[in-house]
Amino acid sequence: MPALFVWERLGFAKAPWHIAGMSLSDIKTRISAAEAKAGSTPGSTQLIAVSKVQPLERVEAVLTEGHLIFGENRVQEAAGKWP
């Protein structure tokens, strides 16, 4: 599925850059609802959190909630966030 359609399936008209203020639980709930609406198998969508330009505190908060899959495009930036 093209990435652009993911936002639509989550109920956003365009890429929702403001979701950084949403809880991980809220995002997972929206993903589950989008899977159901699309007729996809529950749990078939993989959430990849993007830690680019996010402060360490925000990354740690998501880790604390149990999410372990992250994307980062700069090794130098990731090195400062990951133990």
Q: What is the pLDDT of residues 41-71, one digit of tens each?
A: 999 988 888 877 778 888 888 888 888 888 8
As a whole number of angstroms, the distance between CA 14 and CA 77 comes to 27
Could you report the per-residue pLDDT of 14-42, keeping only the tens digit for each? Answer: 545 455 567 788 888 888 988 898 888 99
3-state secondary structure (DSSP) of residue 50: strand
Contact 9, 33 (CB under 8 A): no
pLDDT of residue 40: 87
Q: How far from the centroid of its chain's Cα atoms is residue 34's Cα?
A: 14
The length of the chain, given as a count of residues: 83
Give pTM, 2 decimals: 0.63
pLDDT of residue 21: 65
